[in-house]
Structure 1
Amino acid sequence: MNIALPPHTLAKPFTHDAKVIALVGMAHAASHFGHLLLPPLFPVFMHEFGLSFSQLGALMSVFFVVSGLGQASAGFVVDKLGARPLLFVALALFTLAAVLASRVTGYSGLVAVAALAGLANATFHPVDFTILNQRVSPPRLGHAFSAHGLTGNLGWALAPVFFATVTALSDWRTAYLAAAVLFASVLAVLVFNRDQLHTQVVRHAPDAVVEHSMAFMKLPVVWWCFAFFLLSTMTLAVVQSFSVSILKAMHGISFESATLTLTAYMLCGALGMFVGGFVAAYSKHSDRVVAVSMLTAALLLALCGTAWLGATWTMVVLAATGFAVGIGGPSRDMMIKKATPKGATGRVYGLVYSGLDTGFAISPLVFGAFMDRGWYSATLMGAALVLGLSVVAALGVGVRTR
């Protein structure tokens, strides 16, 4: 297959790569902030609208079902039209979702917000990785993936603090209007720097023998990657959606302290991503780095589930779990890159990262039922078990890539 793509092998100036990485990182932080558009205010919605944990979990399932279906499709669009237009549309949709959230009067409105935000989220991973793979020099890709993951975790870390602070100073509706301004500001910055985000679409020579656009789906390694994302993300969804409620129920921790613990988890994850960038740049076996990181995190999470540690140490160890997961993040992205056929970046990343959305969609339904029954310890133990299973998937990717 003869495919004309940008000259990836040519080294680019550091300033060029740094600017591209920063812009994509800003967009990724905004998308992860959008992941938590609703969860930080779950306690408010329970009080205001009389909702159960299962209903709240279903909101996240709506978000990630829409995002997953959209993401698998968005990869094809990115390969055909380029990444930049979809990036701008996504941020505009997040802005609209935040405005709509400020106006909701009941559960149906929250469902609409979840669906719109899920549609906004759908394009980010195929868009981000297409831009990074095309516009960043190969020697700096490990660090680019590290920065990408790090900024995502910072977006997650910012959301609980942002919504808690603005809600305390004013009210939750004002918090959503402030979030809309935040999304719109990021969009303005990216539009102003749009030349740095241009990507070339895949073009075939007239006499080339072209594989069917769905041919990559026959590769077993792609589905092992999908399985890894599904399993590892189910655990992350538990931490994001229920850790605050679990800490309050198991140890009597205040809402503010529990929220700060979730923020600490995300910040430790960001620090782990930074360290993991150096590991990914020099490691030849990305799958093994991922496996060790996820296994360590699973053991730490299971330790939190035993309730043996008490309140303070449970918060500390839960934050450390984020660091362990973070170290594996850049190697995870390198693992996917090695498994991606040439010219199919958008499609593969779209499908593989839809596993992330699938995990986020399934997990709140399963573990939300646990939470409604008061099985707080079992929720953490179950999340640790699923994360342990993701180790098998990561090693499966490595075997099939080598």
Structure 2
Amino acid sequence: MTSIAAADALGNPAAILRRDARTIGLVGLVHGTSHFFHLLLPPLFPHFMREFGLSYSQLGLLVTVFFVISGVGQALSGFLVDRIGARPALMGALACFVAAALLAAGAEGYGGLLLASAMAGLGNAPFHPVDFTILNRRVSTPRLGHAYSVHGISGNLGWALSPIFSTELFALTGSLRWTYAAVAMVALLVLAIVWWRRDDLDDRAALRRSVEPAQGAVPAGGQAGAQASAHASAQAEGASASTFGFLRLPSVWLCFSFLFFTTSALAAIQSFASPALQLLHGVPLRWSAWVVSAYMVCGALGMVAGGFLLARAERLEPLIARALMLAGSFLVLAAMPWVPGWLALALVAAAGIGTGLAGPSRDMLIRRAAPPGASGRVYGLVYSGLDLGFSVAAPIFGWLLDRGQPAGVLLGSALALVAAVVASALVGRHTARGAASRAPASA
């Protein structure tokens, strides 16, 4: 996978640092915006029930519509990113968010909310292929771990800020229209910033620079060697001859399953940790309602540390395994009936540290599994596992609560993390085999 860093190896370190920082900050901003719009409608569900007479099943369908469209669109948008570039896809996605908020502002019933949810899902679809294509091509390799940390942290912050923003604004104005008009302005402001700083998000310029020899450097073989090197790099990036070849790689599907399992665990915590702790330990709603926010904050702290650990780690799989097993152990302990309620709350929150620690290494693991020229397609397919995890896991864990099995929510989340550990180990094995098989040819 090419990177702008390859062309800047002899450049000014301070200038490269500034460029990396601008790109990382902008990608973090847009990723936080995408997570902000994950929760476009759910924080105001109680209002929709009163205003439009909706049931919980109808509200649940709004979430399903979002993630189904986002998941299918994410797998397809990877092809779009590889064809037209990440930056145009990003601007189109932000425009969809503006439209989704305006549709929600004008909704006069369930149909309008369905349209708003569908448009938000369409806007969310390109973000992972877009984000990681830009980061992998523009950010210097030594800073990629920190870039992935910022990417993950910004997503958690978007999740945390969205319900506060919409519920507080609605409480202040009492108006659905004004609330969602303000949400639309958020997306419009981010779109304006992206347009203003568009040169810092130009993945195509990074690609062109990475296939050109560094100034004053001539590869082995002289000028003919330089031309052959550039031609080979261009061929690697132009995947027209093997558009769907990446689908035959076991590592890609194992990465997909890894995202599916980790997101299934997250879905259990986000949706049902609060009622599960109430039923298991008698924790008051006032306290259990904060467990998701605490989990996200701990996850953000874990991602900061995970970026530094990634920069020093020689192998990713052991780091991922230890972090996720730590999180799973905390969740299993929190499910035990003899644990005091306050400790169960602390354990669930602390589990976020483990999943956060694994986040940057997870993104690097997927980067290594992606073949040259197919980064957008691979990230699009792999991260559609995230949407599938949310879509599938929430009904299953809800069913467990309906059956009077609150411990199953925490234990099931821990089991999903164990499955993710197995998937990451298999990814590493297949990636290492692929590297070994290519070594003789490149020697």
Question: Is this a same-fold pair by TM over 0.5?
Answer: yes
- What is the alpha-carbon distance in structure 1 between the residues aligned to residue 57 and residue 276 of structure 2? 15
Partner of 1:294: 324
Q: Which residue of 1 aligns with 2:247?
A: 217
What is the CA-CA distance between 1:138 and the residue it aligns to? Answer: 1.0
- Deviation of 1:38 after TM superposition, in Å, equals 2.7
Q: Which residue of 2 aligns with 1:121?
A: 124
Aligned partners of 1:258 and 1:393: how far apart in 2? 31
1:284 is paired with a residue whose SS is coil
CA-CA distance at 1:362 after TM superposition: 1.0
Structure having the higher Rg: 2
Structure-2 separation of matches of 1:359 and 1:40: 21
Aligned to 1:282: 312
Deviates most, 387-396 or 234-243: 234-243
**Which of the residues 186, 193, 198 maps onto 2:202?**
198
| Displacement of 1:19 | 0.6
Contact conserved, 1:102 with 1:176, CA < 8 A, in 2?
yes
| 1:309 aligned counterpart, secondary structure | coil
Q: Which residue is 1:36 aligned to? A: 39
Instruction: Indicate the larger mover: 106-115 or 346-355.
Output: 106-115
Counterpart position of 2:412: 382
Structure 1: runs of 5 or more not aligned: none
C-alpha contact (below 8 Å) 2:67/2:388 kept by paired residues: yes
Q: Following the alignment from structure 2 to structure 1, what is the Cα–Cα distance between the partners of residues 149 and 92?
A: 25
Task: Measure how far apart 1:171 and its partner are.
Answer: 3.3
Residues paired across the two proteins, number: 400
Aligned match of 1:10: 8
Q: 1:66 aligns with which of 61, 66, 69?
A: 69
Q: How far does residue 54 in structure 1 lie from its aligned partner after superposition?
A: 4.5
8 Å contact from structure 1 (residues 272, 325) kept in 2 = yes
Question: How far apart, in 1, do the equivalents of 2:395 and 2:50 lie?
Answer: 20
SS at match of 1:165: helix
CA–CA separation in structure 2 for the residues paired with 1:62 and 1:157: 22
Calculate the aligned-residue CA RMSD, in Å. 2.6
CA shift, 1:99, in A, is 2.3
Change (3 A) 1:141 1:9: farther
Structure 1 counterpart of 2:194, which letter? L
Which of 163, 183, 191 is the matching residue for 1:187? 191
1:91 maps to 94
The higher-RCO structure (CA 8 Å, 6+ apart) is 1
Contact residue 54 and residue 365 of structure 1 kept, 8 A: no
Normalising to structure 1: TM-score of the pair?
Answer: 0.91
CA 1:240–1:40: 2 relative to 1, 3 Å? farther
Question: How far is 1:354 from its partner?
Answer: 0.9
In structure 2, how many angstroms separate the alpha carbons of the residues matched to 1:392 and 1:43?
A: 40
What's the secondary structure of 2:420's corresponding residue?
A: helix
- What is the CA–CA distance in structure 1 between the aligned matches of 2:326 and 2:338, rounded to whole Å? 18
Q: Could you tell me whether the CA contact under 8 Å between 1:60 and 1:364 is conserved in 2? A: no
* Counterpart position of 1:359: 389
* TM score, norm. by length of structure 2: 0.83
Distance 1:320 1:51, change over 3 A: farther
SS at structure 2 position matched to 1:117? helix
Distance apart, 1:361 and its partner CA: 1.4
Conservation of the 8 A alpha-carbon contact between 2:306 and 2:357: yes
Task: Indicate the residue corresponding to 1:131 in structure 2.
Answer: 134
